[in-house]
Amino acid sequence: MQRHPSNQRNTRVRRERDFRARSRLVFLLCCGLVLAVGFVFAARQHFAAVQFGYESESLRHERQHLLAEQQRLLLEKEQAAAPARLESAARQLGLKPLKAGQVGTQTANEQRRLPLVTAVINPAASFRRQ
């Protein structure tokens, strides 16, 4: 396509600029920008809430696991501190139960050993006696 010079009389006439149209365009651009920022902010809030939900669910499962572990350890502690088990452990160490006649007539050497024997059989009794 070839271009020929224009032979019209109004070639030097320029179009007027419409400032109202430009201001409407800027106003619409600003409104669209505000809406886009609002949508991005709302989406960010939504995804943060979902992430916190996953984290709280994970922490809830971990808490349940730790509570079960605590219950298991408390049960194991109670079983280990049972009087029958302590007595059998003391017998394996070579300790003997106290007899009624030993309590009142003790020598100085026996008095020093007695709290240790009592502590193995009954830990609370050794603290009461000392």
- Round to whole Å and give the CA distance between 30 and 91: 88
**Token digits for 101?**
């006649």
Residues 64 and 93 in one domain: no
Q: Of 80, 97, 122, which marks where a domain is finished?
A: 80
Mean of the per-residue pLDDT values of the chain: 82
Residues 25 and 74 in one domain: yes
Query: Do 118 and 125 form a contact (C-beta atoms < 8 A)?
Result: yes
- Is pLDDT larger for residue 30 or for residue 97? 30
Tally of structural domains, the chain: 2
Structural domain for 22, as ranges? 18-80
pLDDT in tens, 78-108: 998 888 888 888 889 888 887 777 776 556 5
**Token digits for 45?**
């809030």
Residue 6 is assigned to a structural domain of this protein: no
Residues 75 and 87 in one domain: no
Residues 24 and 67 in one domain: yes
Q: Which residue has the tokens 């992430």?
A: 51
